[in-house]
């Protein structure tokens, strides 16, 4: 096992680390940037293709394609491709939340059989290539099985985070016209059983869902609708254990995952079969240095992109054993996550700054030695220096590189991070763009900024294979959001960043109205829409303010309609029903008016600054500057 060498405030991997790593030489960056298309093409060959592509990259701005003409199936690559060498190797370890319950281990062969049976069951329900299937499931093996089963027949899966409300489920299922929903009776969260079926029943009203497949997980009482509902295990029991994988075109849709943006409605991000597979496979391998003796644990829920790429596809494409944990990392006590690392001998641990900060505050010193860990990694929002140092010292015991990985739902896989066999690791800096990825930091006019100057992070052609190919049913929004800022050949990330003199990138935060609450991506616009939809509310503004553990937390300002009354509770109910408990605001203020420009635009920036203590700037351009003082007084109270 290697050591880290400290030079100034940078850490470098030693010879041992380099020896183990897939990528251990700086020269790969040069090689890749000379011809990124060729570079990705070479990597793509490591996967199994039914038919090789004719053209590696084709660009018709703002659209582009990878591996044109190629035929592939990601489930084949996750399953069959591993059967020869790893038939009886454990693919997935399921750790249930209740301590009394035993873990479940599925080998690659067992997983293969279950996926095939599930495919045959879905077919029996009428699911065909191109159909959309909703997956509203927590972190249980059937979630992974269902995703792979959809991918195997070319049905497009759309996973909805199980902590999202039934309304959130409904608008997503309506948007994609899903035919079938896979859900479960219930699941465990902090010792309680959450009745998910209840949420599913409400969420599918007014949708085109005809069949609901219910996984038996918590044996809680549920409403069962005859003719529409069926149980997962009953359905797959009878099925044969083989179904030929569909030969998918590279550019066929693999899945749609909704995410939040600047506007009120979530966006259905489209990922495709070829490019996404290559991105997931190679980033998981090259960044997490996956080898056959690794046990990989990503704590991200499959309802988010991190869960898709690194709690499912990435490890499976690499034939890795990975942990799938059902519950809260601090349940029933704060050392649960340490126990999971020790119980399975986890070698790579991937988590989020919000969890790191929570453990830093609550645990302080980690007494477990966590000796199997080799790499630790973070994702989702900027990691502050204190949290980085704590993670490095207390979890990594100063011997594991901290990989601060930057990416987005839209990019499909990690795009910026230091590599374990190359380094350097610098607190709060994500590092260098992954080989084959070209980024830049531009000012508002489109000029490159100098070192240490902030600007907009952009990605340049040929982008990378895993980047989104569109927003479902909304090409206009795709163009405007990602290729609207600097023309149709430059992908705008909507993140603010800067580079140090060595070219290491530090992400500062978002340039738009997206906020990160405990790592969850939420849009203030979406929250505002939900609150505004109530007839008691005249208007409202939501801003994200800094929070010590969650990173950010929403604060809501509501202006009520004359003569109408509403309480904090009413507003809270709107939010939890509209999105879910994860969007619960820190505080709700009822105010007379909101600060606005003369043209009527709400100045959210000013509201936010009232909490951060930053200078409010020139208020004279406001139509109603006196409201700022009134609101200030309310906040002080
Ligand atoms: C946004 C994307 C894709 C992983 C999970 C989040 C922020 C992500 C980092 C990081 C600083 C980060 C960005 C990005 N972000 N990783 N390592 N350092 N910020 O995916 O929910 O689509 O959010 O998360 O602002 O744009 P997501």
- DSSP string across 90-132: EEEEEE-SSTTSPPEEEEHHHHHHHHHHHHHHHHHTT--TT-E
- pLDDT tens digits, residue range 371-380? 999 999 999 9
Alpha helices in 506-557 (DSSP H): 524-532
Please report which confidence band the pLDDT of residue 557 belongs to, taking 50, 70 and 90 as the band edges: very high
The pLDDT score that the predictor gives to residue 598 is 83
Query: Residues 6 or more apart from 492 whose CB is under 8 A from it?
Result: 456, 458, 481, 482, 483, 484, 485, 486
Assess if residue 306 is contained within a domain.
no
- Cα(380) to ligand 1 centroid in Å equals 4
Closest C-alpha to ligand 1, atom 10? 406
Looking at the structure of the chain, the number of domains it has is 2
- Cα(406) to ligand 1 centroid in Å equals 6
Assess if residue 409 is contained within a domain.
no
Q: What is the mean pLDDT of the chain?
A: 96
Assess if residue 240 is contained within a domain.
yes
- Cα(197) to ligand 1 centroid in Å equals 30
Atom of ligand 1 nearest to the CA of 509: 25
Assess if residue 535 is contained within a domain.
yes
- Cα(52) to ligand 1 centroid in Å equals 33
**Distance spanning both ends of the chain, measured CA to CA:** 55
Closest C-alpha to ligand 1, atom 12? 381
Of the residues 253, 268, 292, the one at which a domain ends: 253
CA distance 303 to 376: 22
Of the residues 253, 281, 314, the one at which a domain ends: 253
> Residues lining ligand 1, CB < 6 A?
259, 305-306, 379-382, 404-409, 430, 493, 495, 507, 510, 516, 521
Q: What is the DSSP letter of 313?
A: I
CATH number at residue 600: 3.30.300.30
The pLDDT score that the predictor gives to residue 347 is 98
Residue in 408, 416, 514, 515 to alter for ligand 1 test, most ligand atoms within 8 A of Cβ: 408
- Cα(245) to ligand 1 centroid in Å equals 33
Burial of 330 (0-12, 13-18, 19+ CB in 10 A): middle
Is it the case that residue 318 has pLDDT exceeding 80? yes
Atom of ligand 1 nearest to the CA of 494: 26
Is it the case that residue 228 has pLDDT exceeding 80? yes
Residue in 299, 302, 305, 379 to alter for ligand 1 test, most ligand atoms within 8 A of Cβ: 379
Atom of ligand 1 nearest to the CA of 305: 3
- pLDDT tens digits, residue range 441-467? 999 999 999 999 999 999 999 999 999
Closest C-alpha to ligand 1, atom 2? 408
- Tally of CB atoms within 10 A around 256: 25
- Cα(290) to ligand 1 centroid in Å equals 22
Query: Residues 6 or more apart from 42 whose CB is under 8 A from it?
Result: none
Query: Residues 6 or more apart from 476 whose CB is under 8 A from it?
Result: none
CA distance 56 to 68: 6
- Cα(545) to ligand 1 centroid in Å equals 17
Count CA atoms closer than 13 A to 510's CA, side-chain side: 23
Please report which confidence band the pLDDT of residue 599 belongs to, taking 50, 70 and 90 as the band edges: confident
Assess if residue 421 is contained within a domain.
no
- Cα(86) to ligand 1 centroid in Å equals 33
Is it the case that residue 264 has pLDDT exceeding 80? no
- Cα(513) to ligand 1 centroid in Å equals 14
Closest C-alpha to ligand 1, atom 17? 406
**Cα dihedral: 489, 491, 492, 493 (round 10):** -170
CA distance 499 to 485: 20
Assess if residue 220 is contained within a domain.
yes
- Cα(384) to ligand 1 centroid in Å equals 14
Is it the case that residue 621 has pLDDT exceeding 90? no
- pLDDT tens digits, residue range 506-549? 999 998 889 999 999 999 989 999 999 899 999 999 999 999 99
Assess if residue 116 is contained within a domain.
yes
The pLDDT score that the predictor gives to residue 16 is 93
- Cα(84) to ligand 1 centroid in Å equals 36
Assess if residue 290 is contained within a domain.
no
pLDDT above 70 as % of the chain: 100
- Of 6, 10, 21, residue with least CA distance to 503: 10
Please report which confidence band the pLDDT of residue 157 belongs to, taking 50, 70 and 90 as the band edges: very high
pLDDT above 90 as % of the chain: 94
The range of the structural domain enclosing residue 604 comes to: 518-636
- Left (φ > 0), alpha (ψ -120 to 50) or beta: where does 67 sit? left
- How far is residue 61 from each of residues 36, 290, 462, 469, measured CA to CA in Å? 18, 35, 11, 11
CA pseudo-torsion sign 145, 161, 378, 448: positive
Structure pTM? 0.95
Please report which confidence band the pLDDT of residue 424 belongs to, taking 50, 70 and 90 as the band edges: very high
Q: What is the DSSP string of 144-197?
A: HHHHHHHHHHTPEEEE--TTS-HHHHHHHHHHHT-SEEEEES-EEETTEEE-HH
Q: What is the DSSP letter of 409?
A: G
The pLDDT score that the predictor gives to residue 208 is 98
CB 13 within 8 A of CB 374: no
Query: Residues 6 or more apart from 480 whose CB is under 8 A from it?
Result: none
CA distance 138 to 159: 10
CB 182 within 8 A of CB 146: yes
- Cα(519) to ligand 1 centroid in Å equals 8
Query: Residues 6 or more apart from 238 whose CB is under 8 A from it?
Result: none
CA distance 617 to 606: 8
Is it the case that residue 262 has pLDDT exceeding 80? no
Residue in 376, 407, 508 to alter for ligand 1 test, most ligand atoms within 8 A of Cβ: 407
Beta strand 156-159 with 132-135: parallel, antiparallel or unpaired? parallel
Beta strand 321-325 with 295-298: parallel, antiparallel or unpaired? parallel
Mean pLDDT of the region 239-264? 94
Alpha helices in 242-313 (DSSP H): 273-288, 305-308
The pLDDT score that the predictor gives to residue 333 is 97
Q: Which helix (H) or strand (E) holds 491?
A: strand 491-499
Of the residues 253, 286, 309, the one at which a domain ends: 253
- Cα(116) to ligand 1 centroid in Å equals 34
Residue in 507, 508, 551 to alter for ligand 1 test, most ligand atoms within 8 A of Cβ: 507
CATH number at residue 207: 3.40.50.980
CB 602 within 8 A of CB 579: no
CA distance 339 to 345: 9
Closest C-alpha to ligand 1, atom 14? 408
CA 423 to chain centre: 24
Is it the case that residue 600 has pLDDT exceeding 90? no
Is it the case that residue 249 has pLDDT exceeding 80? yes
- Of 256, 45, 8, 293, residue with least CA distance to 147: 256
Closest C-alpha to ligand 1, atom 23? 408
The pLDDT score that the predictor gives to residue 507 is 96
3-state helix, strand, coil in the chain (%, to 5): 30, 25, 40
Show the tokens assigned to 338: 């340490």
Query: Residues 6 or more apart from 550 whose CB is under 8 A from it?
Result: 354, 517, 518
Closest C-alpha to ligand 1, atom 7? 381
Closest C-alpha to ligand 1, atom 3? 408
- pLDDT tens digits, residue range 197-214? 999 999 999 999 999 999
CB 507 within 8 A of CB 430: yes
């Amino acid at each position: 096992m290697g050591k880290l060498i400290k030079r100034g405030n940078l850490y470098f991997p030693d010879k041992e680390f380099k020896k183990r790593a897939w990528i251990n030489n700086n020269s790969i960056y040069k090689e890749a940037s000379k011809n990124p298309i060729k570079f990705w093409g070479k990597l793509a060959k490591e996967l199994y293709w039914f038919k090789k592509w004719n053209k590696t990259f084709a660009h018709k701005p703002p659209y582009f394609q990878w591996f044109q003409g190629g035929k592939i199936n990601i489930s084949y690559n996750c399953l069959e491709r591993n059967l020869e060498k790893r038939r009886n190797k454990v693919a997935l370890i399921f750790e249930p939340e209740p301590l009394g319950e035993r873990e479940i281990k599925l080998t690659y062969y067992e997983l293969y059989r279950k996926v095939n049976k599930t495919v045959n069951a879905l077919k029996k329900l009428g699911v065909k290539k191109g159909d959309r299937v909703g997956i509203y499931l927590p972190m249980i093996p059937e979630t992974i099985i269902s995703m792979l089963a959809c991918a195997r027949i070319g049905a497009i899966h759309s996973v909805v985070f199980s902590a999202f409300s039934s309304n959130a489920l409904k608008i997503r299922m309506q948007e994609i016209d899903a035919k079938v929903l896979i859900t479960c009776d219930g699941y465990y969260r902090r010792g309680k059983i959450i009745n998910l079926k209840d949420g599913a029943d409400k969420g599918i009203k007014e949708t085109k869902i005809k069949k609901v497949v219910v996984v038996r997980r918590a044996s809680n009482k549920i409403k069962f609708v005859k003719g529409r509902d069926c149980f997962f295990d009953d359905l797959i029991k009878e099925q044969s254990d083989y179904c030929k994988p569909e030969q998918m075109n590279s550019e066929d849709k693999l899945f749609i995952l909704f995410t939040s943006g600047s506007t009120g409605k979530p966006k259905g991000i489209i990922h495709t079969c070829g490019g996404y597979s290559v991105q997931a496979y190679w980033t998981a391998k090259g960044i997490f240095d996956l080898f056959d003796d690794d046990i990989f644990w990503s704590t991200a829920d499959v309802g988010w992109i991190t869960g898709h790429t690194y709690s499912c596809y990435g490890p499976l494409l690499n034939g890795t054993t990975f942990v799938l944990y059902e519950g809260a990392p601090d349940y029933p006590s704060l050392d649960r996550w340490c126990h999971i690392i020790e119980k399975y001998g986890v070698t790579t641990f991937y988590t989020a700054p919000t969890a790191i900060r929570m453990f830093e505050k609550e645990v302080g010193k980690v007494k477990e030695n966590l000796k199997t860990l080799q790499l630790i990694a973070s994702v989702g929002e900027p990691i502050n220096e204190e949290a980085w140092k704590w993670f490095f010292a207390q979890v990594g015991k100063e011997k594991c590189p901290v990989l601060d990985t930057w990416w987005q739902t839209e990019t499909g896989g990690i795009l910026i991070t230091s590599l374990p066999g190359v380094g350097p690791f610098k607190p709060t800096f994500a590092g260098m763009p992954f080989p084959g990825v070209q980024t830049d930091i531009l000012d508002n006019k489109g000029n490159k900024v100098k070192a240490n100057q902030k600007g907009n992070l952009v990605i340049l052609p040929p982008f990378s294979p895993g980047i989104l190919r569109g927003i479902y049913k909304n090409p206009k929004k795709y163009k405007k959001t990602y290729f609207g800022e600097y023309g149709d050949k430059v992908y705008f990330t909507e993140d603010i960043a800067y580079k140090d003199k060595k070219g290491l990138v530090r992400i500062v935060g978002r340039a738009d109205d997206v906020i990160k609450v405990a790592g969850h991506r939420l849009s203030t616009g979406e929250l505002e829409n939900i609150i505004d939809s109530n007839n008691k509310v005249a208007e409202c503004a939501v801003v994200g303010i800094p929070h010590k553990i969650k990173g950010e937390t929403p604060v809501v300002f509501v202006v009520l309609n004359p003569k109408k009354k509403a309480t904090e509770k009413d507003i809270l109910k709107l939010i939890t029903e509209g999105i879910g408990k994860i969007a619960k605001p820190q505080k709700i203020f009822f105010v007379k008016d909101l600060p606005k420009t003369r043209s009527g635009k709400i100045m959210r920036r000013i509201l936010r600054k009232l909490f951060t203590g930053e200078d409010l700037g020139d208020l004279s351009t406001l139509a109603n500057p006196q409201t700022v003082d009134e609101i200030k007084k309310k906040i002080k109270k």
